Structure 1
Amino acid sequence: MPSAGSSGRPARAGTKRNYRDDSSSEPEDSPRPSNTPAKPPKKRVKVDKGEGESDAKKSTRSKKPKAPKEPSKKKLWDDRIKKRGEWIQDRKYKHQGHPFTFTKSKALEYAKQFEPKLTERELLTLAYETRPNPIEGYRASHEYSVNDIDALIQEKALALGVTVKAPQPPPPPPPSDDWWDPLHPPLIVPDYTPPENAHPDDPSPEDIIWDGEHIRHRNILLQDACLLYCVNEDDLRDLARHSRWLDRETVAKRAVFLHGGFKRHNEIIVSRRKEAMEAYRAKVAVRNFHDGEPTEHYSLYLEGLFQKRQKVAKESRGLETILKQMWDERCFPGPEHDYSENGYRLRVKQFAPMIQYDERDYGCEWRWYHHWGRCFEGRWDLTA
């Protein structure tokens, strides 16, 4: 009969029941495991006594003051420019010796081509000349001397302890073959011997003025030589074979000799002028207006030279510019010839095409001019 504590089911044969053994439980006083992890033991670090003492000495040792640092050369230069300050304008100031000048913007462009370069602040320490602006006359233009700019660049280079480096010069231009720089120099014949049939009133060769009356270029083309001195190309063929440029004075001596001396040459030129004036009057009478064209023209080269000069003169608006001076020298080279009676009497005449201009003055007649030259003076120009 089953006991009261059993469930009423008989135990299976061969099956061993597992019962908790209360006797095997841990005692109450034993520690129980906790959820917090255990802390690792602290590592002991061994400190070297000598090391600690040296660190302590370093912290307590007083720091030595640093020696003052010398300012750099650039700093000294900047201080010098700052102390110098901007130049105070003086409208009466004029550069000495008439040097080449630049406006402020052009001066900076020029100065920045060199090493060391100049800054605007450094440039403003220089004296400048006050002039009317070439484009806008009501404005003032500050003109800096190129000599002063060069001196300031040199001063800056010495202060910085460097050498001035100039820009590389441009390559030489190709041969221009112009009258002032001919590719092949002309043949020059310096001597003049009067012909046997020369006029008895001719001056001695030493007194004759061979300078050009209208065209004073040292070298001229064959076409212009024939027109100016009223000779044929065959008369100058030997000179033309040597170079396309002919020495003007050599041509003048050749023409005077071929024409029978000084006085007879000038008579031929005067006669040619009278013929040109008559032809011009006839042209105006037929057309009933002045077309602004001379009786004849110089070579295309010489005409282009004068036209370029006229264009530059208009663009300069009457003010002197370097470009205008350059073209004046190319079109009217050399000193002005003597306009006195003695100058007219002893000069070898040149024929220049004739033209009339209206003086734009009410009641004034049209006035004669030598083409690209001076006005016509009847008492001298029609007298041999």
Structure 2
Amino acid sequence: MARTSSSSPSTPLTTKAATASRGIKARREEWTKGLPPLWVPQADFRHPRGTLKISKTNAKKDFKLTDREIGILPYERVISDIGYPMQLYSKLRVVVLARRKLVALEGSSSQPPLKIAEYTSPSNAVIPDPVPITWIPSKLSRPVSVKDACRLYCIEPRDIQDLSAHSPLIDLATVAKRAVTLHGGFYAHKELVRQHREAEEQALSLPIEQVHERKSLFRFSPMTQRDWNGDYEKLRLYRGSNEPTPPNRVAVFYPIVEVCVDKYGCEWEWLPYWGDF
């Protein structure tokens, strides 16, 4: 009777599993290597008003994040009801980080499919994505650079690495769909943009002796800047025009603009207005 070897050759199934395991390990190492530096703690840091918050313990447990991963996110320091120090994170930012990790480890080389997500509002009401969604923003319509796309949709370069590998210019509708997918839906993405706007307003609200520094540090690339530059007064009257506004535009993080009116002083304004995008 023929003897069987105890070290039989690997079956196609085990070989495939081993290959997949090596691929996951490589993607995990690449993901970890690409993480931004750890956030530098700030004693007076506060999340924008209305931010849903989550403790570090719950964030790690509920969203399967490591200390290194969650360490890139800003947090508030507070004392719990029973006297223990706590770190509170923006729950939305935690969700976004967990989604990015999932996409990175799954090794998706193409655009993640758009899923109609449900967003839990601050009042705990579940709100499904609207139909239809307008993917192209107002004011801009041409493809933009990676830097501009990341600013507009509050994403990271790695989130559109597969797109930028084919072209240095990114289609706005395509990147809008990617952002909505990564951020957990239309309304969750809109809330993230709101938080970014709140944070920028706070950064611009400097003491009077620093008034000369009150400006956004972000600048569009030259091509996008040419499209962006225009008659701000016309933008301020946008709502009074007879042009129909497309429904449910995906929120974009346009730069804040300092508008000055004679005899009435200057103030920061988001143009187009919030909701018009």
With the shorter chain as reference, the TM-score category is 0.3 to 0.5
Determine which structure has the larger helix proportion and give its number: 2
Structure with bigger gyration radius: 1
TM-score, length basis structure 2: 0.47
Name which structure has the greater RCO, CA cutoff 8 Å, separation 6+: 2
In terms of fraction of residues, the more strand-rich structure is 2
- Per the normalisation by structure 1, the TM-score is 0.35
